[in-house]
Amino acid sequence: MLSAILVNCIVSKAQPYAKEIAAFKKQDSISFPAKNAILFVGSSSFTKWTDVQSYFPNFTIVNRGFGGSSLPDLIRYQNDIIYPYLPKQIIIYCGENDIAASDTVSGKIVAERFKQLFVSIRSHFPNVPIGYISMKPSILRWQMKDRMIDGNSRIKKFLKKKKKTTFINVWKMMLGEDGTPMPDIFVEDKLHMNAKGYAIWQKLINPYLINEINSMKPATL
């Protein structure tokens, strides 16, 4: 029994966010999401958007955000949180935590990590549109803005050369007249958004979502 406990400890350390991924799988086993939906995948800005469906009533949204995750985590768990759902569109928000994790993670590194994820998704779903939401500005991480802006710029440039892609820039609309993040769109931690912040995202994301009229066939493996 002791050996089993030790093995479990080792596995949990070796696989960050395994608990969150297991929770998704359990949820799916009870009620699997509809195919041909729009998949939101990424970090805590999606995790905390628990009422995301109400912001997009004309679309079917599957939210697979898990808090604290970085791009390597999305790459690690892509077989669990992306491909099973056969989405008609994928919207990604991730990269901010990569930069926050270490001063050595540059915008270039974030862009290279995103490219790795993108190429992998494309190998599975060559025709599914992919959208990337720019890393957002926040009061807590404002000192990291230069690396985030650089990463956003590199990812935007990369996606511009790819078919069926969208770069959704939320940066500018989250800034006040003084050019700094608007304080009233964040919760107390000054990092995550409140309803007012998500309302900004809704307005920016909505035009890029694929509706039922022009929807593509669901992905197939």
| pLDDT by position in tens, the chain (length 221) | 544 444 454 444 558 999 999 999 999 999 999 989 999 999 999 999 999 999 999 999 999 999 999 999 999 999 999 999 999 999 999 999 999 999 999 999 999 999 999 999 999 999 999 999 999 999 999 999 999 999 999 999 999 999 999 999 999 999 999 999 999 999 999 999 999 999 999 999 999 999 854 444 444 44
What CA–CA distance (Å, rounded) separates 148 from 130? 20
Which among 92, 107, 115 has a CA at the least distance from the CA of 151? Answer: 107
What CATH homologous superfamily does 33-208 map to?
A: SGNH hydrolase (3.40.50.1110)
Does the reported pTM lie above 0.95? no
What CA–CA distance (Å, rounded) separates 219 from 85? 8
For residue 165, the tally of other CB atoms under 10 A from its CB is: 17
What CA–CA distance (Å, rounded) separates 209 from 129? 9
CB-based burial label for 41 (10 Å; 0-12, 13-18, 19+): buried
For β-strands 130-133 and 61-65, DSSP reports them as unpaired
CA atoms within 13 A on the CB side of 57: 1
Question: What are the extents of the domains in the chain?
Answer: 33-208
